[in-house]
Amino acid sequence: MLIKGLLKTGLIAGIMMTSALAHAQTVGPNGETATPSAEITLSDAEFASLKEKGLKAALLWHTSSDFINAVSAGATDEFAKAGVSIAVTTDAGFDAARQRSDIETALTAEPDVILALPLDPVTSAAAFREAVANNTKLVFLSNLPSGYEHGSDYAAIVTDDLFEMGKQAADALARDIGEKGKVGWIFHDATYYVTNQRDNAFKTTIEKDYPGIEIVAEQGITDPARAEELASAMLLQHPDLDGIYVTWAEPADGVLAALRASGNKHTKIVTLDLSEPVALDMVRDGNVTAIVADKAYELGRAMAATGLKALLGEETPAFIVAPALTVEKANVLEGWKESLNREAPESVIKTLN
């Protein structure tokens, strides 16, 4: 669910794709090894030692959405265990200048820890410097300001297990087409940290683990609005496709439209990130067979736990990833709750009932 925000900013941390594919795991923007978020926990004694200190946190987000609401809920619940109050919560509306102003405003509340997604590596680097100078602990979501050093400037980057998301998409599609057949690969044709690792993980997993499946059509996409047009061209050339991977849910809706226009009920779709229109097709037994999602609530919990560990003076991993989950018709209600900490859309619930 983070992807739309990251793409809109167009300012994503650098990526080490060769390393990611060689080691078959998600790596950080500078090639850092990933630490599972489940390993970032505090003991009862650690929570108790923080509880009476009157600590404050600021949540400085890039936008507002179900995804951010879930991240905030995870962070707020974890902070509450340590008696940390949320002094400031902001929404920059994807505006880097506004985010800089948000940071300056938040610092007047003297937070002890800040959780944020930096919108612009350069602007954010300058804006967060005062926080670094004040010894405010910084935990970043997915992006990293330019020139920042782990340990001295920030506690950690926390993001999705990107390789695992692509792998789970490959596993789900392979299972549902019987581990044999022809598939199409619609990938994000731009250099972006999140999509590149996810897309290539799908392709790598199919090629490595499923010899009975052949990727016969590849199509890059930059504008989700062109997804139907590009999918129609792919299907015209390869009308016998058994499945299609689509880089995220918004263009997947366009691919669905192309399949419906051609009366194609055979080709299965797998995509990433929860979306009501795509989920509706899935629960109606349409073309969509699975959606792989991140665990946004867990992202927030891990960010807060990392900040708390930094406040305790403990060493923290540079790069932390939260797990992915495969959402299908059978577990869509539970999956929605686990990912976004909210009930599935009413239309999905009604369709299931």
Looking at the fold, whether 133 and 242 belong to one and the same domain comes out as no
Looking at the fold, whether 80 and 153 belong to one and the same domain comes out as yes
Chain segment 160-200, per-residue pLDDT in tens: 999 999 999 999 999 999 999 999 999 999 887 788 999 99
Does the pTM surpass 0.75? The reply is: yes
Looking at the fold, whether 191 and 145 belong to one and the same domain comes out as no
Looking at the fold, whether 143 and 99 belong to one and the same domain comes out as yes
Looking at the fold, whether 107 and 138 belong to one and the same domain comes out as yes
Looking at the fold, whether 214 and 339 belong to one and the same domain comes out as yes
- The SS3 of residue 24 is coil
Per-residue pLDDT of the chain (353 residues; tens, 9 = 90+): 555 555 544 444 443 333 333 345 898 888 899 999 999 999 999 999 999 899 999 999 988 888 899 999 999 999 999 999 999 999 999 898 999 999 999 999 999 999 999 988 888 899 899 999 999 999 999 889 999 999 999 999 999 999 999 999 999 999 999 999 999 999 999 887 788 999 999 999 999 999 999 999 999 999 999 999 999 999 999 999 999 999 999 999 999 999 999 999 999 999 999 999 999 999 999 999 999 999 999 999 999 999 999 999 999 999 999 999 999 999 999 999 999 999 999 999 999 99
Domain that holds residue 345: 162-295+327-352
Looking at the fold, whether 50 and 98 belong to one and the same domain comes out as yes
Chain segment 22-73, per-residue pLDDT in tens: 345 898 888 899 999 999 999 999 999 999 899 999 999 988 888 899 999 9
Angle, helix 96-107 to helix 121-133, in steps of 10 degrees:
10
Looking at the fold, whether 347 and 258 belong to one and the same domain comes out as yes
**What are the backbone angles phi and psi of residue 205, rounded to the nearest 5°?**
-65, -45
Looking at the fold, whether 285 and 197 belong to one and the same domain comes out as yes
Looking at the fold, whether 28 and 166 belong to one and the same domain comes out as no
CATH number of the domain residue 27 falls in: 3.40.50.2300
DSSP 81-130: HTT-EEEEEEE-TT-HHHHHHHHHHHHTT--SEEEE--S-HHHHHHHHHH
Looking at the fold, whether 177 and 166 belong to one and the same domain comes out as yes
In sequence order, what are the beta bridge partners of 123?
A: none
Count of domains for the chain: 2
Looking at the fold, whether 318 and 280 belong to one and the same domain comes out as no
- The SS3 of residue 246 is strand
